[in-house]
A and B are shown apart, each in its own frame.
Chain A
Amino acid sequence: MKRLLCRWVEYYLALSVDDIETGLPAWVRRHLQSCARCQAEAGAYRRAREAVHQYAQLLPDAPSKGWQPLQVRAEMKQRVFPLQVALAPVAVAAVALTGFVLWQRASAPVDDRAPQSQVAQSIHLSQQEVAEQGRKAVGSATKGTKPKQNLPAQQVLPEPSKPAPSLRQTPSAPVHRSPRRILVAAQPAETAPEAESQPVAQPQSEPEVPVQPVLVEASPPVTRDIPEAFVVQPAYAAAAGGVE
Chain B
Amino acid sequence: MDAQVWEWRVATGEHPRQEGEQQLIERCRAGDMEAFGTLWQQHRTAVFRSILGIVGNPQDAEDLTQDAFLRAYRALDSFRGEAQLRTWLIRIGVHLAIDHVKRKKAHPEVSLDWDVGGGYADIDPHAAAERNELRETVRKAIDALPPHHRAVIVLRDMEGMDYSEMAQALGCSVGSVKLRLFRARRLLKQRLEVLLGGSP
Contact = CB atoms under 8 A, between A and B. Distances in A.
A59 B139 contact: no
A57 interface: yes
Nearest to A43: B198
A70 B72 CA distance: 12
Interface in A20-59: 44-45, 47-59
Given A58-B116, A59-B52, A52 B188 contact: yes
A67 B48 contact: no
A64 B115 CA distance: 14
Interface in B163-198: 178, 181-182, 185-186, 188-189, 192-193, 196, 198
B185 A59 contact: no
Interface string A174-201: 0000000000000000000000000000
Give chain A's interface secondary structure class.
Answer: helix
Interface residues of B, number: 53
Given A51-B138, A64-B11, A14 B185 contact: yes
Interface in A58-113: 58-71, 73-75, 77-78
Contacts of A48: 185, 188-189, 192-193
Contacts of A57: 117-118
B200 A59 contact: no
Contacts of A60: 52, 58, 114-117
B3 A52 contact: no
Contact of B70 (A11, A49, A74): A74
Nearest to B53: A59
Interface residues of A, number: 37
A32 to B, nearest CB: 16
B37 to A, nearest CB: 6
Nearest to B137: A51
Contacts of A14: 181-182, 185-186, 189
A17 interface: yes
A56 B192 contact: no
A62 B49 contact: yes
A129 interface: no
A58 B118 contact: yes
B126 to A, nearest CB: 16
A17 B181 CA distance: 11
27 contacts: A14-B181, A14-B186, A15-B178, A15-B182, A17-B185, A48-B192, A51-B138, A51-B192, A52-B158, A55-B134, A57-B117, A58-B116, A59-B53, A60-B114, A60-B117, A62-B44, A64-B7, A64-B10, A64-B11, A66-B62, A66-B65, A67-B6, A67-B37, A69-B66, A70-B69, A74-B36, A74-B70
Given A50-B200, A57-B117, 14 more contacts: A14-B182, A15-B181, A44-B189, A48-B193, A58-B116, A59-B53, A60-B52, A61-B45, A64-B11, A67-B6, A67-B11, A69-B66, A70-B70, A78-B31
Interface of A: 10-11, 14-15, 17, 44-45, 47-71, 73-75, 77-78
